[in-house]
Amino acid sequence: MIKPLSDRVVIQALEREEKTKSGIVLPDTAKEKPQEGRIVAVGNGRLLDNGQRVSLDVKAGDKVMFSKYAGTEIKIDGQDYLILSERDVLAIIE
Amino acid sequence: MIKPLSDRVVIQALEREEKTKSGIVLPDTAKEKPQEGRIVAVGNGRLLDNGQRVSLDVKAGDKVMFSKYAGTEIKIDGQDYLILSERDVLAIIE
Amino acid sequence: MIKPLSDRVVIQALEREEKTKSGIVLPDTAKEKPQEGRIVAVGNGRLLDNGQRVSLDVKAGDKVMFSKYAGTEIKIDGQDYLILSERDVLAIIE
Amino acid sequence: MIKPLSDRVVIQALEREEKTKSGIVLPDTAKEKPQEGRIVAVGNGRLLDNGQRVSLDVKAGDKVMFSKYAGTEIKIDGQDYLILSERDVLAIIE
Amino acid sequence: MIKPLSDRVVIQALEREEKTKSGIVLPDTAKEKPQEGRIVAVGNGRLLDNGQRVSLDVKAGDKVMFSKYAGTEIKIDGQDYLILSERDVLAIIE
Amino acid sequence: MIKPLSDRVVIQALEREEKTKSGIVLPDTAKEKPQEGRIVAVGNGRLLDNGQRVSLDVKAGDKVMFSKYAGTEIKIDGQDYLILSERDVLAIIE
Amino acid sequence: MIKPLSDRVVIQALEREEKTKSGIVLPDTAKEKPQEGRIVAVGNGRLLDNGQRVSLDVKAGDKVMFSKYAGTEIKIDGQDYLILSERDVLAIIE
């Protein structure tokens, strides 16, 4: 098991099935910039300057949108993941 | 549904019908720099260093003026949106 | 109506009638760098790190001197304005 | 009248009569870097992060030494002045 | 014995036996970027601006993942170690 | 008299008589980088973000070692001095 | 005697007798990057933003490891020393 530190999260990127309204599947280069993924692990939270620890706004299981070029690629049990700061998570998709 | 994190907002850009006083419609290149849009979703607010969370000054439905080159383009259900920090929202148009 | 956010102000630039002591009107290139303008709208104030909001030192109607290259040009009802941070306002002219 | 904002000051630069010990007047290029001037107006003070406003250490009438390349040149009633941050004032000459 | 200062940790890098699912051992260049290691010593913690000292989230013995290019190589008793800030430790592997 | 502002000090540089152990006087280029000088005036102290003013650790008369390239050269009554921040004073020589 | 200011320390670099396990003395270029030294003097401590002064984690006599390119070379009584910030001291060797 991997336990990210501070405000870091581990994300599994999702392959997005991209279809235009007319039903045409777009090739990879026509896809949008931010990427979608699912949070698989979150850190214990960032420490504020007043010594208070702030838990994250995302939790394991959340489907999120994140900056494509943020973070570091890691491999756990042969599977690809990304580890990045919560600051690079743009939004939760519900 | 998309739920932006922290002080981020999701904006739908508005096409501006640009007319000079004499009624001539200006072509695209003659348009002004900042862009107008409508807020469709706002984050839970920025966290201050003292641990206090500050709700945003804008809310869903607000018509705003924002820095044209700020933020990240996202696509939700085939529709184009922008996700950006409230800092890049210049003003509310009432 | 436009309502700037945070510590931003909307300024209408003033054409300065520039005359030397001897009464000669100086052409545009001989003019000084900072520009004069009149505040037409002010934001709700900057938020300090302790959560306190600080109202601005300038108010609508003030004649001010501001950094010529600061801010963003906006157009409201065909009229040109500038939107900039109060930090770029150098002084109030009374 | 001009009223600088925050920690800014308005300074009137002083022409320095520069003489060597032997009495020779030095030409302009041999002069020292920092410039002398007289404070003609001071701002209402800088706002600290805790919301406290701090009045300036200099006051109108003070003869000061300041960084030659700091600030912005302004012209009031045909007279040249400089507007700069108190941080660029090095010392008071008494 | 080595006692790192502040939020620094001493890490012994681990050679990772990298195998693909099909059992093929990957050569060095195909390995992932972040490196794994074992914490051998931790500092007394970072000092916050309010004077409070914060103990580290990792402890001696922890297996961690860290940024490959972070820190400084040191040699203790002929053995290679890395000394780096806890900020460069991405996650604990349990 | 000159009264530096904030955490600034005025220093008179000292010519260092540099001799090797064997008594040979070293020429100028062989001298060490930091320079020695005597404090002739100190500012009223730096203002902390909490509004507290902190008096300096050095006082007029102190012999100090300072970064050679720090500060600004000033001339008072034909005499050369340096005005620099206390941060650029490395140590007091007693 | 030299009294460093703030969080600075004076260090006397130690010549490291570098031997490989097999007993071969390594020439200078094969040595490791960080350098070892002995603290000979420490400052009165860094001042936090809340006005609290924090004494150093190292004391005179401590054997330490420090960043080789940090600090400034000084000469006291013909002897070479380094003056550097405690931040550049990596660890205490016990």
The pLDDT of residue C31: 42
B2 near B73, Cβ under 8 Å? Answer: no
Does the structure show a pLDDT above 80 at A15? no
User: In 3D, which of E26, E56, E31, E29 has the Cα closest to residue E42?
Assistant: E56
The pLDDT of residue C52: 93
Query: Could you report the predicted ipTM of this complex, rounded to two decimals?
Result: 0.80
The pLDDT of residue F16: 61
- R_g over Cα of chain F: 15
In sequence order, the β-bridge partners of residue D79 are: D76
Please tell me if residue A21 touches chain B, with a CB cutoff of 8 Å.
yes
The pLDDT of residue A31: 42
Backbone dihedral region of E2: left (phi > 0), alpha (psi from -120 to 50 degrees) or beta? beta
First to last CA, chain G: 26
The pLDDT of residue B15: 75
Over the stretch D63-76, which tens digit does the pLDDT of each residue have? 999 988 889 999 88
Question: What does the alpha-carbon distance between residue G65 and residue G34 come to, in Å, rounded to a whole number?
Answer: 6
Residue type, A44: N
Domains (range + CATH), chain B: 8-17+31-93 (2.30.33.40)
CA distance B4 to chain A (A): 4
> Cβ separation of E5 and G49 shorter than 8 Å?
no
Residue F76: band (very low, low, confident or very high) from pLDDT cuts 50, 70, 90: confident
Over the stretch E71-86, which tens digit does the pLDDT of each residue have? 999 988 889 999 999 9
> Cβ separation of E72 and G90 shorter than 8 Å?
yes
Count Cβ atoms below 10 Å from residue F23 Cβ, excluding itself: 6
Residue C23: band (very low, low, confident or very high) from pLDDT cuts 50, 70, 90: low
User: In 3D, which of D91, D86, D93 has the Cα closest to residue D6?
Assistant: D86
Question: What does the alpha-carbon distance between residue F17 and residue B31 come to, in Å, rounded to a whole number?
Answer: 70
Mean pLDDT, residues G7-25 taken together: 75
In this structure, what is the dihedral angle of CA atoms D55, D56, D62, D68, given to the nearest 10 degrees?
A: -160
Neighbours of A (≥3 Cβ pairs closer than 8 A)?
Answer: B, E
Residue G65: band (very low, low, confident or very high) from pLDDT cuts 50, 70, 90: very high
Please tell me if residue D70 touches chain F, with a CB cutoff of 8 Å.
no
The pLDDT of residue B60: 97
Helix (H, G, I), strand (E, B) or coil at C29: helix
Does the structure show a pLDDT above 90 at C61? yes
Mean pLDDT, residues E19-38 taken together: 64
F5 near D86, Cβ under 8 Å? Answer: yes
User: In 3D, which of C78, C47, C64, C69 has the Cα closest to residue C10?
Assistant: C64
Report chain B residues whose CB lies below 8 A from the CB of A52: 51
| Chain-centroid distance, C-alpha A2 | 15
How many helices, marked H, and strands, marked E, lie in chain D?
A: 0, 9
Residue position matching structure tokens 């990210």: A4
Closest-approach residue (CA) in chain E for A75? E32
Mean pLDDT, residues E3-16 taken together: 92
Closest-approach residue (CA) in chain E for A80? E32
Closest-approach residue (CA) in chain D for F84? D90
CA distance D19 to chain F (A): 8
Question: What does the alpha-carbon distance between residue E4 and residue E43 come to, in Å, rounded to a whole number?
Answer: 5
The pLDDT of residue C68: 83
Question: What does the alpha-carbon distance between residue G59 and residue E32 come to, in Å, rounded to a whole number?
Answer: 41
Neighbours of C (≥3 Cβ pairs closer than 8 A)?
Answer: B, D
Residue type, E51: G
Report chain A residues whose CB lies below 8 A from the CB of E48: 47, 49-51
Q: Which two tokens stand for residue B63?
A: 């018509």
Which phi and psi angles does B28 have, rounded to 5°? -55, -40
The lowest-confidence range among A4-18, B61-75, E39-53, F75-89 is: A4-18
Does the structure show a pLDDT above 90 at G26? no
The tally of CA atoms less than 13 A away on the side-chain side of residue F23 is: 0
**Residue F43 vs residues D57, F10, F11, F91: alpha-carbon distances, Å:** 10, 9, 12, 17
Question: What does the alpha-carbon distance between residue E88 and residue E35 come to, in Å, rounded to a whole number?
Answer: 11
CA distance D77 to chain F (A): 30
Question: Cβ neighbours of residue E1 under 8 Å, at least 6 residues apart?
Answer: E41, G93, G94
Residue A30: band (very low, low, confident or very high) from pLDDT cuts 50, 70, 90: very low
The pLDDT of residue B23: 61
The pLDDT of residue C16: 61
The pLDDT of residue E58: 97
- R_g over Cα of chain D: 15
Residue type, C59: K
